[in-house]
Amino acid sequence: MSASLNWHPAKRPQPTALVGRFVRLEKLDPRRDREDLWQVFQGPEADPKLWDYLAYGPFAEREDFDHWLDSNAASSDPLFYSVIDLANGQTQGILSLMSIVPEQGRIEIGHIAFGAAMQRTPKGTEAVYLLGKRAFELGNRRLEWKCNNDNARSKRAALRFGFTFEGVLRKHMVIKDRNRDTAWFSITDDEWPTIAAGFERWLSADNQRPGGQRITLEACRTSA
């Protein structure tokens, strides 16, 4: 017989601001974020691959985009956060805590959409770190990351962030009239302290210098 865990359910996330060195996460607010997000997602400098593996977008009509944003803002699961650049105040992306199961201590980071201005910068990494930190502060045992198994970019990101690959659910979903086999990744609460220390070292002023990182996130985690 296995030992008792003395388990207590996790708390549900609340839409409180999370502040880092590079970005601030705040609950998605269409009144504040709408114009910035329209520009970063649909403007001339938008990432053309952004919508390839998401269940929505791109948006040819502004009305459809506005409705999508309003629906996201009204949701509590997923709970959407805006990513605001501390240097210039621009909202440059969104992501969410979702699949929230407090009674089992399970939660997921998903619906990630980062504008081009966030990519290949510390901002996206810090946004994921801030949500991961919050997830475990709430008492969760498991943080999940799921993506289309064809989405090589998302799978590389999950591994870089320290998630462990757990397998593929075949024919898991139909998205945009295409099959989706879903790759599953996770971080557990006992793994998080080492992974968090790696994030913090990578994001530090000592590592983030003019011209880029001094050492990689993976190396920071190994030596944490």
Residue 10 in any domain: the answer is: no
Residue 97 in any domain: the answer is: yes
Q: Write down the residue that tokens 């269940």 correspond to.
A: 55
Domains contained in the chain, number: 1
Which domain covers residue 58, as residue numbers? 18-222
Residue 36 in any domain: the answer is: yes
Residue 211 in any domain: the answer is: yes
Residue 94 in any domain: the answer is: yes
pLDDT in tens, 164-200: 999 999 999 999 999 999 999 999 999 999 999 999 9
Q: Is the separation of the CB atoms in 97 and 131 below 8 Å?
A: yes
Give the span between the Cα atoms of 216 and 36, in whole angstroms: 30
Q: Is the separation of the CB atoms in 96 and 52 below 8 Å?
A: no
Residue 120 in any domain: the answer is: yes
pLDDT in tens, 69-112: 999 999 999 999 999 999 999 999 999 999 999 999 999 999 99
Residue 152 in any domain: the answer is: yes
CATH label of the domain that carries residue 151 = 3.40.630.30
Residue type, 102: P
Residue 6 in any domain: the answer is: no
- Tell me how crowded residue 208 is: count the other CB atoms within 10 A of its CB: 18
User: Is pTM, for the whole model, over 0.75?
Assistant: yes
